[in-house]
């Protein structure tokens, strides 16, 4: 079950950082507006942390999104780096609070 939560955390981060596609349908825009906000993403990742994902895994995946070439399309979207910095800041502060 821990593996599922790791994958869910990764999908959640990519979904938030990548943002909404420019050619998204009305249904996709509505669901994005409803479910993909900073607070809901942090809440989902915190839920995954409760179920076995470590804070270090979250921070290392955020570094991977920032530096790995496989995520270059995600980083190319408008505002993606701002959203990535926002999530990194939240979870770096969280890691410091646990130590």
* pTM (2 d.p.): 0.84
pLDDT at 94: 63
Q: How many domains does the chain have?
A: 1
pLDDT at 97: 54
Domain that holds residue 38: 2-98
pLDDT at 99: 46
DSSP 52: T
pLDDT at 91: 87
| Residues of the chain under the 50 pLDDT cut | 99
């Amino acid at each position: 079950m821990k593996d599922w939560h790791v994958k869910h955390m990764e999908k959640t981060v990519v979904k938030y950082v990548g943002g909404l596609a420019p050619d998204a349908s009305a249904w996709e825009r509505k669901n994005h507006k409803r479910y993909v906000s900073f607070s809901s993403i942090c809440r989902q990742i915190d839920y995954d942390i409760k179920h076995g994902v470590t804070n270090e895994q979250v921070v290392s995946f955020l570094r991977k999104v920032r530096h790995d070439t496989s995520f270059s399309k995600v980083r190319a979207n408008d505002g993606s780096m701002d959203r990535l910095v926002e999530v990194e800041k939240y979870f770096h502060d969280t890691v410091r609070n646990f130590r």
